[in-house]
Amino acid sequence: MLAYDAAARKAPQESGREPLAGQRQAHAILHGVTRKFKKNGGTEVFHALGPIDLTLYKGEFFSVVGPSGCGKSTLLDTLSGLARPSDGTVQFENREVKGVPDGVGVVFQEDASFPWLNVRDNISFTLRMRGMDGAEIKRRVDYALAFMGLKDFASAFPAQLSGGMRQRVCIARTLVQQPRLILLDEPFGALDQQTRLLMGDELLRLWRETNATILLITHALDEAAMLSDRVGVMSSRPGLFIDIVETGWERDRDSRVVSTPRFGEVNARLWEKLRVESLKVMGGQHG
Ligand SMILES: Nc1ncnc2c1ncn2[C@@H]1O[C@H](COP(=O)(O)OP(=O)(O)OP(=O)(O)O)[C@@H](O)[C@H]1O
């Protein structure tokens, strides 16, 4: 039996009721969400994001692309509950988000492993902090180690691992929390192209196995086009969604979709929109 417990992933209000085939069920909803910052602590307001209206559907893989500085990370912080919106509301499983909710896991770009802990202790860290029963921690960590191909590295320290392996540790640390919504901010940004493609396949496997909803922020259009059910393209700041592209991939896909004509079409459409927005940002820098 898999250690990733299907029952634990269900939202309480959904227990015993599966959505009808083909019917999309809202999992997280952003309604009129903006983020505004005070500039240099003064009175001038810096409008970073929105207003954003977006529904993430249960079990989908949604990616966000957009020009540098358009507010992608700000969007993720707001959706995860790490930060509150300036206006609007965020809902997860029909409840307003007012802090990181149980059931939401975040993976960041930077290598967030603890250098002084070995791989097993890195992965179990959050569960131990929560005071979870030791046997349950062991069960979950053993599963995550096997799932992420880290079994032989349980006693290794992060400095002894490659960048890709360290990022697997960070994903495993999120996985053991059995999140129903996984938010990833440029998780493969620091990796070379081949490793990125293979990590993309790992992420697809994790997505299928866990049935989690995934929101991925990425700079790489090909990564978004290959992995996602839908890709949201954001405008230059303040970031808004200017296009949402449905890829039409089967659930059982992998990185080999990159050699299909459809992949080329999706990529071209994303670039058409993103090019215009990126030029605006570059123009702003030069003007
Ligand atoms: N806490 C903050 N205080 C002030 N400004 C902020 C804060 N957080 C983000 N910003 C600003 O909001 C804008 C959006 O930042 P954000 O990091 O969300 O963009 P991004 O799209 O993720 O950028 P990149 O693609 O370069 O990673 C930026 O101009 C940033 O400087």
Query: Which residue did the predictor score with more confidence, 229 or 188?
Result: 229
DSSP secondary structure, 213-270, as one string: EEEEE-S-HHHHHHH-SEEEEEPSSSB-EEEEEE----SS--GGGGGSHHHHHHHHHH
Instruction: For the chain, give the mean pLDDT.
Output: 89
The span from the CA of 217 to the CA of 199, in Å, is 15
Residue closest via CA to ligand 1's atom 1 equals 37
What pLDDT, on a 0 to 100 scale, did the predictor assign at position 163?
86
What secondary structure letter does DSSP report for 18? P
Asked if residue 37 has its Cβ within 6 Å of ligand 1, the reply is yes
Residue closest via CA to ligand 1's atom 16 equals 71
Mean pLDDT (whole number) for 142-157: 95
- % the chain with pLDDT above 90: 76
Q: In the numeric block, which tokens belong to residue 218?
A: 């990425």
Question: Where residue 232 falls among pLDDT bands split at 50, 70, 90?
Answer: very high
> What is the number of the ligand 1 atom nearest to the C-alpha of 186?
27
Q: Does 286 have pLDDT greater than 70? A: no
What pLDDT, on a 0 to 100 scale, did the predictor assign at position 284?
65
CB 50 within 8 A of CB 32: yes
Mutate to test the pocket of ligand 1, among 74, 78, 82, 233 (most ligand atoms within 8 A of CB): 74
**In whole angstroms, what separates CA 179 from the centre of its chain?**
11
Q: In the numeric block, which tokens belong to residue 14?
A: 């959904």
Question: Where residue 16 falls among pLDDT bands split at 50, 70, 90?
Answer: very low
Residue closest via CA to ligand 1's atom 4 equals 37
pLDDT in tens, 78-137: 999 999 999 999 999 999 999 999 999 999 876 678 999 999 999 999 999 999 999 999
> What is the number of the ligand 1 atom nearest to the C-alpha of 217?
22
Distance 71 CA to ligand 1 centre (A): 5
pLDDT in tens, 21-39: 457 899 999 999 999 998 8
Asked if residue 278 has its Cβ within 6 Å of ligand 1, the reply is no
Q: Does 180 have pLDDT greater than 90? A: yes
Residue closest via CA to ligand 1's atom 2 equals 37
Peptide bond into 187 cis (omega under 30): no
What pLDDT, on a 0 to 100 scale, did the predictor assign at position 208?
95
The span from the CA of 283 to the CA of 287, in Å, is 6
The span from the CA of 184 to the CA of 209, in Å, is 17
CB 150 within 8 A of CB 168: yes
Q: Does 287 have pLDDT greater than 80? A: no
Residue closest via CA to ligand 1's atom 25 equals 68
Question: Where residue 18 falls among pLDDT bands split at 50, 70, 90?
Answer: very low
What pLDDT, on a 0 to 100 scale, did the predictor assign at position 133?
96
Rg of the chain in Å (alpha carbons): 19
Q: In the numeric block, which tokens belong to residue 88?
A: 């609007």
What pLDDT, on a 0 to 100 scale, did the predictor assign at position 19?
45
pLDDT in tens, 253-282: 998 999 999 999 999 999 999 999 898 888
Mean pLDDT (whole number) for 200-222: 95
Residue closest via CA to ligand 1's atom 18 equals 71
What pLDDT, on a 0 to 100 scale, did the predictor assign at position 40?
77
The span from the CA of 186 to the CA of 217, in Å, is 5
Query: Which residue did the predictor score with more confidence, 222 or 41?
Result: 222
What pLDDT, on a 0 to 100 scale, did the predictor assign at position 68?
92
Asked if residue 46 has its Cβ within 6 Å of ligand 1, the reply is yes
What pLDDT, on a 0 to 100 scale, did the predictor assign at position 89?
97
